[in-house]
Amino acid sequence: MSVIKTHDITLYGGTDIKIALRPLSDEHLPLLYKWCADPEILYWTEGGTADICLSYDPDTVNDIYGGVSREAFCFLVEADGHPIGECWLQRMNLPGVRAMYPETTDVRRIDMCIGEKAYWNRGIGTQFVGMLVDFAFCAQRADVLHCFCEDYNIRSRRMWEKHGFSRILAEELPQPQKGKWQYHYRLTRQEFESKRPENNRNGR
């Protein structure tokens, strides 16, 4: 039985760098094992811990991606044909957040990781997250994207804001942890559609 539940959707985008989001599958597990064993990568991707030497073993990685992929579209990120990270669009899995919306609201979250550090600080994450935002609202017809980052991750905060997300909540984190606050960012489909270039040209 496969660890990762895969799908058949591939997304293309990028400007100066060609980006492809390909279905994540078990053949990519060696990459996930490598990235998830690196404390420097997990420092930025894993909140909720004070452990700056955090490293995941293969069994933990299997549990994480095996579980998430049942309720998410998980993608391998390629830049100019090179695998550099992963991302996913997931149905909201946190009861406290679900309770913030009417029961029928389709709430999703985006999570991402660039595991190849040579590709950090090049704007690639902002580009492929934008591809996921488009996929969520245009193809999946999600109602809301509700995403998270902690106060110390300034790059992540700027990325959500570039895509029009608003910070709607700041939760104080129990200490000790890397961050003091967890920020909730939200973008609704109505907000997304109102900011699309074709709507602006039509005066909507």
Alpha carbon distance 186, 166 (integer Å): 5
- Could you tell me the pTM of the whole model? 0.92
What confidence score (pLDDT) does residue 171 get? 95
In whole numbers, what is the pLDDT of the chain averaged over residues? Answer: 94
Residue 197's pLDDT is 66
User: Any idea where the domains of the chain sit in the sequence?
Assistant: 11-144
- Superfamily of chain region 11-144: Gcn5-related N-acetyltransferase (GNAT) (3.40.630.30)
Residue 11, pLDDT above cutoff 90: yes
